[in-house]
Structure 1
Amino acid sequence: MDNELFTTEFFSQFNLDTGQWVWVLVCALCIGMSKAGISGLGMFVVPVFASVFGAKESTGVILPMLIMADIFAVIYYNRHANLKLLKKLFLATVAGVFIAIWVGDMINDQQFRILLAVVVILGVIIMIWHETKKSSDAIPDNWFFGSTAGLLGGFTTMIGNAAGPVMSIYFLALHLKKNNFIGTAAWFFLLVNIFKVPFHVTIWHTITWNTFLFNLSMLPIILLGVFLGIKIVKLIPEKPYRIFIIVTVTLAALKLFF
């Protein structure tokens, strides 16, 4: 009985209605599935969580959940990672994170919502461009492009955990094979996400002990998402799926403006 009372009090502190809880569970499932190879779902989670928890607060709620899923991705694809490549991105990515910390600390929540929506929509534009271009040969892979990608990746991942499209384009430019692509990206996001944690705790105050316990409560759903992602990633027609993701992410991001 005491355990039931504790559970009820714990979850009630987040003041979420039934519909919001459904969205949270769906997003936790999507986080696991996205790390298992169903790319695009991660972008869907960002604006939905922002609507439920608030723009800035949601970045800290999502982050530990992403790290949990990143750990699995690293374990599964570790042998394919190109860790030397990540060294080239380090300084630019760190700079992008620090710029985002400063910007996020200077603006109010409404401005943060707008900035987050812009970041997500830009990510969608990159996804659309990626889908419609005929060849990756036109993508530069020089030092300037790499530094720009690292800077934008660091900024967008800190502002909204939305660096997926930017970094995908960069890794695509390097002509990485599929497993190398997934493994290298897995390590990049795990390291960057862990690096961000202290700033969310001490500067933005978006990660607390209670939010972390909330994240742990979502772990079974995330693991279920990982399992489902592995099973169904090859069963979903790629083009219709990606069109669906682009449309839903765009609509969710537009909602942040209102």
Structure 2
Amino acid sequence: MQFDPIFVTVAVIAVLIVGLSKAGLLGSLGMVGVPLLSLVMPARDAAGMMLPVLLAMDVIAVWTYRRDLNWHILKLMLPGAAIGTLLGWLLWSVVSDAAVLLFVGVITLLFVLDAILPLRKKLEGLPPSRGWGGFWGAAVGFTSFISHTGGPPFQIYVLPQRLSPMEYSGTSAWFFAIVNTAKLVPYFFLGQLSVSNLALSAALAPVGIVGVLIGVVLVRRISMVWFYRIAYWLVFLLALKLIWDGSRAIFWGL
């Protein structure tokens, strides 16, 4: 494969952001990994390449937060996540690459709007219920299967439960480790774990692990106020770019 400095730069930045997010440093900003990679490679290939990298990072995150998790929330959300994962598998072969790109862009835009709109505040203090847990779990499973963008629906349901930071990080780490592991078999049969994708995964996995370790060290030592302000604007522009590219391909054949 010919060396492409633009591809390498974007890939390293994307994986590093995901790694920092796994440690709890950047919250749901880790969901921009596939959208960022979609700028330099097909969205489907980006999703396939990222899965082994995510699993490598999950090992570090689960070990770090092995005693800090809420089993009750996992029990409420995981059945729905299984349904959402199955739905994503069934629909994978009937949607085009452009539709995947458009979907990733819309999910990215919804992520930004969710951070601005008061939806989470309206849910604040509501007790966890099996119905809502199943619904948001399914949303996480589906969006995570299509493009590893399950962070926002997970946060919409879990953040209002007012978990401690450590308990939230542990619950998130265990939940996504289980969901990502469940995606291995479908991804294999869909051909997403190709030799080329696995080679890229192996090359980028150390970057992700370093990101997790850096995030664990910095999570309580850095103020992210200005970072978030700038990052959300950049994510917003990224969402518009993906929506534009996907729409042009679908509606105008460009």
Identity %: 28
Q: For the structure 1 residues 134 and 110, does the alpha-carbon distance in structure 2 shift closer, same or farther, using more than 3 Å as the test?
A: closer
Separation of aligned partners in 1, 2:61 and 2:120: 28
> Which residue of structure 1 lines up, in the alignment, with residue 22 of structure 2?
35
Residue from 87, 90, 93 that aligns with 1:102: 90
Give the TM-score, by structure 2 length: 0.87
Report whether the alignment pairs 1:127 with 2:115. yes
> Which residue of structure 2 lines up, in the alignment, with residue 246 of structure 1?
232
> Which residue of structure 1 lines up, in the alignment, with residue 99 of structure 2?
111
Separation of aligned partners in 2, 1:197 and 1:220: 20
Matched-pair contact (CA < 8 Å) for 2:61–2:173: yes
1:160-171 pair list within 5 angstroms: 160-171=147-158
Residue aligned with 1:66, SS: helix
> Which residue of structure 2 lines up, in the alignment, with residue 186 of structure 1?
173
Residue from 138, 146, 149 that aligns with 2:136: 149
Cα deviation for residue 16 of structure 1 reads 5.9
Cα deviation for residue 174 of structure 1 reads 2.3
Q: For the structure 1 residues 133 and 28, does the alpha-carbon distance in structure 2 shift closer, same or farther, using more than 3 Å as the test?
A: closer
> Which residue of structure 2 lines up, in the alignment, with residue 223 of structure 1?
209
> Which residue of structure 1 lines up, in the alignment, with residue 160 of structure 2?
173
Cα deviation for residue 78 of structure 1 reads 0.9
> Which residue of structure 1 lines up, in the alignment, with residue 250 of structure 2?
none
Give CA deviations for 1:138-165 in whole Å, capped at 9, x if unaligned. 6563332212111111111011100111
> Which residue of structure 1 lines up, in the alignment, with residue 200 of structure 2?
214
Structure 2 alignment gaps of length 5 or more: 246-254
Separation of aligned partners in 2, 1:138 and 1:85: 14
Q: For the structure 1 residues 134 and 195, does the alpha-carbon distance in structure 2 shift closer, same or farther, using more than 3 Å as the test?
A: closer
Residue aligned with 1:206, SS: coil
Report whether the alignment pairs 1:51 with 2:39. yes
Cα deviation for residue 234 of structure 1 reads 3.3
Separation of aligned partners in 1, 2:126 and 2:158: 10
Structure 1 alignment gaps of length 5 or more: 1-11
What amino acid is the match of 1:225?
G
CA RMSD of aligned residues (A): 2.1
What amino acid is the match of 1:239?
V
> Which residue of structure 1 lines up, in the alignment, with residue 249 of structure 2?
none
Q: Give the ranges of 4+ consecutive aligned residues of structure 1 lying more than 6 Å apart after TM superposition.
A: none
Report whether the alignment pairs 1:23 with 2:23. no
Which sits farther off after the overlay, 101-110 or 234-243? 234-243
Matched-pair contact (CA < 8 Å) for 2:66–2:170: yes
